[in-house]
Amino acid sequence: MIKRMAIMLVAVGIVFGGLYGFQIFKAGMIKEVMAGLANPPQTVSTVVATKDTWQPKIEAVGAFKAVNGADLALQVSGIVKDIAFQSGDMVTAGQTLLQLVADDDAAKLDSLQATADLYALTLKRDQEQFKIRAVSQATLDTDLANLKNARSLVAQQKALVEQKTLKAPFAGRLGIRSADIGQFLSVGTTIVTLQALDPIFVDLFLPQQALSQIKVGQSVLTMIDTYPGETFAGEISAINPKVDSGSRNVQVRVTMQNPDGRLLPGMFAKVSISVGQPEPLITLAQTAIVNNPYGDSVFIVDKTSDGKLLAREAFVKTGLVRGDQIAVTEGIKEGETVVIAGQIKLHNGSPVVVDNTHVPVAEASPSIVDR
C-alpha cells in the first residue's frame, strides 16, 4: 500500500514537473518570437565606401547677356515708309533697317539748304565789294552771321530727317520685327531687338569668400539645360570691384565664344569654376546621409561573429557635392559598408538584410532624360 502511494506521488510529480517545464519553454519561445516581431530585419541597399579624386569647385548660377543688345526704336513718330530687313537677319553696323515718311522734312531741308547757299553767295560777293570799299565791314559781319545761322538750321533739319531713319547701331542678329509698312509709330515704340551674340557674357554672383580663389583669366565651364550633356568653356573677364553691402556677394562676368549663336541672352546657366588642387575623398551617394538637427550621420553595416548583419549609426562631416554624390571628410573609413537606401527605420543595433538589386544611381553629372 505504501509502495503504491509512493509510485502515485512520483507520477504526479513528473506530470506537474513536465507541465511546469513546458510552460517555461513556451514562455521562452513566445519571448523570442515577440522580440523578433518587435525588431525584424530591415531590407537595405549598401555600397562599399571608396575614395575618388575630387576637384574643388565653386558652383553658381548665372544668366547669359549679349555683349551689345538693344531694343531698337525711333525718337520721333511717323508712318513707316519702308522696311529693309527680315526677322532674324544678320546685319552690319550702320545698315539701314527702316524708313519713316519724311517728304515734308526733306523738302524743308532743301529749302534751308538753298537759303544757306544764297547767304554763301552773298557773303562772297560782298567780300569782293569790300576790297574796293563798296560795302562796309558791318555788311560783311551781317552776311557771315546770316550764313552761320542758315547752316545751323540746315544741320538741325538734317538731323531731324536722319531721325526718321532707323540704322543698326552695331553688328548682330535681329529678332522678330513688330512694325509693318504703313503703320504709325509713336516715339519709343520698339521695332526690333538687335543682339550681338559672339562673344557672349555670363553674369553671376559669388559670395565674398570666393574672391580669394578667383581671378581674371581663370577658366570656367558652363552647362545649359537646353543642351544636356554638353559643356561650354569660357573665362572670367571681369570681377566687380565692389561687394554688394546687402547680400555680401560680388558680381563676376564670364566671356564665352559663341560662333554658332547657340547661346542666347537670357538663358539660365550653371557655372563651375575649378579652384585649388584635386584631392582624394570618400564618395557616397547623397541618399546615404541622414540629416538630423544634431548632425549628419550614416548607417554602417557590421557583421557579427555569428554571421548576423547589424546597423551602426556613425556621425559624419560632409564636404563638396558633385551631382548625386557627396564627399565625406570624417566619420567613415575606406572599405566600410554604408547603407544608401532603406535606412528610415534603422537605429543602432538593428538587424538588416542586404538587397542590392536596385541600388540608387549616384552620378557626378546627372542629366534629365526625356522619355
Which is higher by pLDDT, 312 or 278? 312
**Of 317, 313, 296, 305, which is closest to residue 347 (Cα–Cα)?**
313
- Helix H segments across 73-208? 103-131, 137-162
DSSP 115-134: HHHHHHHHHHHHHHHHHTTS
Q: How confident is the model at residue 33 (pLDDT cuts 50, 70, 90)?
A: very low
Question: Mean pLDDT across the stretch 149-160?
Answer: 87
Task: Give yes or no for residue 188 having a pLDDT over 50.
Answer: yes
Strands 309-315 and 352-354 turn out to be: unpaired
Average pLDDT in the 182-206 region? Answer: 90
Domains of the chain: 42-53+279-354 (2.40.420.20), 59-66+196-274 (2.40.30.170), 73-185 (no CATH)
* Percentage of the residues of the chain whose pLDDT score is greater than 90: 13
Comparing C-alpha atoms, which of 363, 356, 317, 364 is closest to residue 339?
A: 356
Farthest-apart Cα atoms in the chain, separation: 184
C-alpha cell belonging to residue 287:
541618399
What strands lie across the sheet with 50-54, from one edge to the other? 50-54, 279-285, 325-330, 317-322
Q: Which pLDDT does position 371 carry in this prediction?
A: 44
Q: Considering the entire predicted model, what is its pTM?
A: 0.61
Residues 324-339: tens digit of each pLDDT = 788 888 888 888 888 8
pLDDT over 80 (residue 5): no
User: How far is the C-alpha of 228 from the C-alpha of 72, rounded, in Å?
Assistant: 33
Angle at 304 between CA 300 and CA 305, to 5 degrees: 155
Residue-level pLDDT at 126: 75
Model pLDDT, residue 1: 55
Distances (CA, A) of 248 to 96, 245, 275, 339, 346: 45, 5, 20, 39, 41
**From CA 39, how far away is CA 344, in angstroms rounded?**
14
- Going from the C-alpha of 305 to that of each of 67, 101, 109, 341, 354, the distances in angstroms are 68, 96, 105, 25, 17
